[in-house]
Amino acid sequence: MAILVTGGAGYIGSHTCVELLNEGYEIIVVDNFSNSKPEALKRVSEITGKSFKIYPVDVLNKDELEEVFSNHKIDSVIHFAGFKAVGESVTFPLKYYQNNITGTVVLCDLMKKYKVKNLVFSSSATVYGSTDQVPIVENTQLGAVNPYGRTKQMIEEILQDLHHSDPTWSIAILRYFNPIGAHESGRIGEDPNGIPNNLMPYISQVAVGKLQKLTVFGNDYPTKDGTGVRDYIHVVDLAIGHLKALENVQSTCGVDAYNLGTGKGYSVLEMVGAFENASGKSIPIRLSKRRPGDAATCFANPSKAKEKLNWQATRGINVMCADTWRWQRNNPDGYEKVLKTIIGSHSPVQNHAAGFLMPE
Ligand code: UFG
């Protein structure tokens, strides 16, 4: 029995694939590579020494996705595939509703048809909107404040309805706080398109010399040093959280949401200091006004995940920064250079529905 991982080539998806393979799971990856690179999966194979089937398929393409369900005995699904840029979602809301929501509905419809009812869903702390009640607990009133966040919130509601209609579904909704870091090998990590929007990839690109200085958005928040406070979580801890959630959905029925965070908040300036220590590089900063829509402070109460999933984050910010730096230093252009070589020589994306094996 296999685990289907949609969006498995992405940042969190690729790290989760490594942990799944290391635990001995058989995995099938579906990814349309619209925002990720096949090279990430090649490196997942390299890190784990294991091969697995990859389908370069869009979850919106029901016929091609159905071939995956009919070709394999799938036990459970971990669903990462989706767009995730907050700013872009404000400019192109329909693109986000179409891709994230319709994609999930198509997937669940096929899961229903093939009687696969175990699902781990990639949600986000963004569903809480701008709550000032910290630490945030799961039963806080949801209120996403942008289209991206609303897609996650709406999908959560769809999954609740699905479970209500058929209680044999077993669904874990994972609300991520701020994932950073990279695999300790330095072979896989976050590879944002263009200029990063998020703090950690921005800092690491300043450290490696690709960007000149970090703009700090606001130093007049009611926080320890006036800059925004977030709950940064190592992507490998997050990936392990998916395995714990998978074990849970495989052994129970129900639908439950879990915060995946550390429960600790760090300010922008604390993160800059930690990154300078880890990298030995100085990060020039420029103070600027607040970024619209940003909360002062956001961190999780992660005790539900500890109690019910037996999961808790173990990696601190020094490890997060050291691992981010190793990835950035070794791959200053992310996966880009290698991608050009692959596409230049031959395209592995030949027969979508047939899939291909990595490594080839
Ligand atoms: N920040 C800067 N300068 C930058 C980028 C960010 O000062 O160049 C600050 C922000 O103002 C904020 C903190 O760094 O105080 C973290 O910002 P990020 O953009 O890294 O992360 P956010 O907390 O804004 O949002 C992230 C994801 C969302 C997700 C949310 C979950 O981008 O998709 O975490 O809490 F929903």
Q: Is 145 exposed, middle or buried (0-12, 13-18, 19+ CB in 10 A)?
A: middle
- For residue 149, give the ligand 1 atom closest to its CA: 36
Task: Tell which residue, 258, 13, 8, 255, has the closest CA to residue 117.
Answer: 255
pLDDT > 60? residue 243: yes
pLDDT > 90? residue 358: no
Coil, strand or helix at 145 = coil
- For residue 84, give the ligand 1 atom closest to its CA: 33
pLDDT at residue 342, rounded to an integer? 44
Task: Tell which residue, 123, 118, 148, has the closest CA to residue 138.
Answer: 123
Q: Which of 11, 25, 96, 148 is catalytic?
A: 148
* Residue 216 near residue 286 (C-beta atoms within 8 A): yes
Rounded to an integer, what distance in angstroms lies between the CA atom of residue 64 and that of residue 355? 10
Tell me the one-letter amino acid at 275.
F
The token pair at 20 is 């799944």
Residue found under tokens 């969190």: 12
- Count the Cβ atoms, other than its own, within 10 Å of residue 57: 24
pLDDT at residue 354, rounded to an integer? 54
Nearest CA to ligand 1 atom 24: 294
Rounded to an integer, what distance in angstroms lies between the CA atom of residue 273 and that of residue 287? 15
Nearest CA to ligand 1 atom 26: 178
The token pair at 116 is 């696969």
Give the pairing of strands 266-267 and 178-180. Answer: unpaired
| Model confidence pLDDT, tens digit, residues 178-215 | 999 999 999 999 999 899 999 999 999 999 999 999 99
The pLDDT-based confidence of 336 (bands split at 50, 70, 90) is confident
Query: In sequence order, what are the residues at sequence separation of 6 or more whose Cβ sits closer than 8 angstroms to the Cβ of residue 243?
Result: 16, 19, 20, 23
Q: Tell me if the bond preceding 359 is cis, omega within 30° of 0.
A: yes
- Count the Cβ atoms, other than its own, within 10 Å of residue 293: 13
Nearest CA to ligand 1 atom 6: 199
The pLDDT-based confidence of 344 (bands split at 50, 70, 90) is very low
pLDDT at residue 355, rounded to an integer? 61
- Dihedral sign of CA atoms 6, 311, 260, 252 in order: positive
Average pLDDT, the chain: 94
**Is 176 among the residues known to form the active site?**
no
| Model confidence pLDDT, tens digit, residues 35-80 | 999 999 999 999 999 999 999 999 999 999 999 999 999 999 999 9
| Model confidence pLDDT, tens digit, residues 139-154 | 999 999 999 999 999 9
Report, as an integer, the average pLDDT of 286-302: 95
pLDDT > 60? residue 339: no
Share of the chain above pLDDT 90, in %: 90
Q: Which residue has the higher pLDDT, 54 or 341?
A: 54
Q: Distance from the CA of 219 to the center of ligand 1, in angstroms?
A: 14
- Count the Cβ atoms, other than its own, within 10 Å of residue 24: 7
pLDDT at residue 348, rounded to an integer? 37
Query: In sequence order, what are the residues at sequence separation of 6 or more whose Cβ sits closer than 8 angstroms to the Cβ of residue 222?
Result: 296
Nearest CA to ligand 1 atom 36: 126
Q: Distance from the CA of 198 to the center of ligand 1, in angstroms?
A: 5
pLDDT > 70? residue 341: no
Report, as an integer, the average pLDDT of 313-340: 91
* Residue 267 near residue 224 (C-beta atoms within 8 A): yes
The pLDDT-based confidence of 167 (bands split at 50, 70, 90) is very high
Share of the chain above pLDDT 70, in %: 93
Rounded to an integer, what distance in angstroms lies between the CA atom of residue 158 and that of residue 264? 31
Rounded to an integer, what distance in angstroms lies between the CA atom of residue 233 and that of residue 173? 17
Residues with CB under 6 A from ligand 1: 84, 86, 124-126, 177-178, 197-199, 202, 214-217, 228, 230, 268, 291, 294, 298
Q: Tell me if the bond preceding 147 is cis, omega within 30° of 0.
A: no
Report, as an integer, the average pLDDT of 109-113: 98
- Does this model's pTM top 0.85? yes
The pLDDT-based confidence of 356 (bands split at 50, 70, 90) is low
| Model confidence pLDDT, tens digit, residues 222-231 | 999 999 999 9
